[in-house]
Copies of this chain bind each other. A is one copy, B any other.
């Protein structure tokens, strides 16, 4: 009998397709041609020597007088610092300038390194750069929400091989985020507790869907995972925004995230993935009900008409089996 499970954070119902479920090892990706590891690609705008091809740098980190990572504005931004946040009415419709900041974090000097090739210190400095930019963007009072994300591989929408993440400061609260904060607030009103803290407690005590627990973070497959090997990493301390994370926690997140990515890489043969860090809208101070988290979405299946039409998801991987599989991947 297939099962419907409700995702407690999004309230989506997910079909856990037990009868047609695949074994975890059936999600292993086809071998991809291994890219030759080389340091510099002539035409890559993110490679050392090509700095002039990118937009003017916002900040960099250095070692021995050479940059180790750089933050630059996206050359093809979704939102731009020009313009204002006034709404315009066009008949019955609402529009506004796409004001905001859309940055690219060039994560490493080496052209085809990925996060799993990096040292712990390098991984740590990427997360540190996220936090630094988050805190900078938060100061602009016109920014309502900040998202951080990374695309790995073609089916995840990457256009450039050189390792990079993106950070976007937006002048609106996306409706999807508003829905999630509304759900979390209702849960708090009913239960006097943050729904994320409660989830974490449940996952740590049952352990069934846990993939990796470190000092400050827990990585697990959600009870109603929307798709195969969908993962959440929650901080153990209650914090509504990524900007609040401290040095110790960042260091531990570097360990947790990189280990989980290595397990995915090894266990599923380098799947394409997106990850994203979700925080409360910037100006929400009453933050006892929301909790920032990192969501990893491996791109192992394609959403079809069922998902588009219903907004419901069919997951052909059993969350408990996927978690066990990843727990057992030795890296």
Residues of A within 8 A of B (CB): 1-6, 8, 10-13, 15-17, 19-20, 76-80, 82-83, 90-98, 145, 147-151, 155-158, 166, 168, 170-172, 174-177, 179, 198-199, 202, 206, 223-224, 274-278, 295, 297, 302-306, 308-312, 314
Q: Which residues of B contact A302 (CB under 8 A)?
A: 155-157
Given the known A-B contacts A91-B206, A93-B224, A157-B304, are A168 and B310 also in contact in the complex, defined by CB atoms under 8 Å? yes
Q: Which residue of the partner chain, among B148, B278, B305, B311, contacts A157 with CB atoms under 8 Å?
A: B305
Q: With the chains together, A149 CA to B303 CA distance in Å?
A: 13
Is the pair A15, B199 in contact by a Cβ cutoff of 8 Å? no
A309 in complex: contacting residue of B5, B16, B274, CB < 8 Å: B274
Contact residues in B for A17 (Cβ distance below 8 Å): 76, 78, 98
Contact B177 A310 (CB under 8 A): yes
C-alpha spacing A277/B310, complex, angstroms: 9
B306 pairs with A166, CB closer than 8 A: yes
Please give, as numbers and ranges, the residues of chain B lying within 8 Å of A1 by CB-CB distance.
Answer: 80, 82-83, 97-98
A4 contacts which chain B residues (CB < 8 A)?
79, 95-98, 171-172
Residue of B nearest to A165 (CB): B305
Q: From B6, B12, B174, B224, give the contact of A12 (CB < 8 A).
A: B174
User: What are 8 A-B residue pairs whose CB atoms fall within 8 Å in the complex?
Assistant: A4-B96, A5-B94, A19-B76, A147-B310, A149-B306, A151-B304, A274-B308, A276-B309
Copy total for this chain: 2
Tell me the nearest residue of chain B to A88, going by C-beta. B3
Given the contacts A1-B80, A13-B172, A93 and B6 also touching, CB distance less than 8 Å: yes
Evaluate contact between B305 and A15: CB separation under 8 angstroms: no
| Complex-state Cα separation, A280 to B198, whole angstroms | 33
In the complex, what residues of B have CB within 8 A of residue A314's CB?
Answer: 78
Minimum CB–CB distance from A239 to chain B (whole Å) comes to: 18
**A94 contacts across to B, CB distance below 8 A:** 5-6, 8
A8 near B93: Cβ-Cβ < 8 Å: yes
Kindly provide the distance from the CB of A316 to the nearest chain B CB, expressed in whole angstroms. Answer: 9
Question: Which of B16, B83, B170, B206 is the one whose CB lies under 8 Å from A310?
Answer: B170
Shortest distance in angstroms between A42's beta carbon and chain B's nearest beta carbon? 24
> Chain B residues with Cβ under 8 A from A199's Cβ?
92
CB nearest neighbor in B for A224: B93
Are A175 and B12 CB-contacts (below 8 A) given A223-B93, A304-B157, A314-B78?
yes
| Complex contact A309–B93 (CB within 8 A) | no
Q: A92-B8, A305-B151 are in contact. Are A310 and B174 (CB under 8 A)?
A: yes
Residues of B within 8 A of A171 (CB): 4
